[in-house]
């Protein structure tokens, strides 16, 4: 059974939003995977990663060699890892950013016209350790 969660969205007009984050994540995960992989790669992805088949079963089902299978798996991992990290506005990896509240260090775009206070941080020099032993 899915679980409905109430999330508080921070900001100037704090509001609450109902959602099913688990189902939303699964749908985003499958959609991003489908759009970034070729048909051949998606078959391997579906059999091996989604359905959980081991390499022997995948090789037998897809009629391929073990080496070709593992090279395809490594390509899939590389493609999807990058895609999950770079998808906007909410990256699918790391999971805490997807499921948790997002803390942004820069102000939202609607506050660009607001006056900014100067930063209290002073410029610090880099710490440089000595290169040779001082006697």
Q: HEC string of the chain? A: CCCCEEEEECCCCCEEEEECHHHHHHHHHHHHHHHHCCHHHHHHHHHHHHCCCCHHHHHHHHCCCHHHHHHHHHHHHHHHHHHHHHCCCCCCCCHHHHHCCCCCCCCCHHHCCCCCCCCCCCCCCCCCCCCCCCC
Q: Does 30 reside within a domain?
A: yes
**For the segment 40-91, what is each residue's pLDDT rounded down to a tens digit?**
999 999 999 999 999 999 999 999 999 999 999 999 999 999 998 888 877 7
- The number of folded domains in the chain is 1
Check residues 108 and 86 and name the one with the higher pLDDT.
86
Q: Does 95 reside within a domain?
A: yes
pTM beyond 0.85: the answer is no
Domain coverage including residue 93: 5-99
Check residues 90 and 116 and name the one with the higher pLDDT.
90
CATH code, domain carrying 22: 1.10.10
Q: Does 55 reside within a domain?
A: yes
């Amino acid at each position: 059974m899915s679980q409905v969660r109430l999330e508080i969205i921070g900001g100037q007009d704090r509001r609450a939003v109902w959602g099913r984050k688990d189902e939303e994540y699964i749908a985003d995960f499958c959609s991003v995977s489908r759009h970034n992989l070729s048909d051949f790669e998606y078959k391997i992805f579906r059999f091996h990663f989604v359905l959980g088949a081991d390499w022997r079963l995948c090789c037998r089902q897809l009629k391929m060699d073990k080496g070709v299978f593992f090279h395809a798996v490594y390509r899939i991992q590389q493609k999807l890892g990058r895609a999950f990290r770079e998808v906007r506005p909410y990256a699918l990896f790391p999971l805490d950013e997807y499921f948790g509240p997002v803390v942004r260090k820069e102000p939202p775009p609607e506050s660009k016209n607001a006056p900014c206070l100067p930063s209290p941080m002073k410029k610090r020099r880099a710490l440089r350790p000595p290169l040779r032993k001082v006697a």
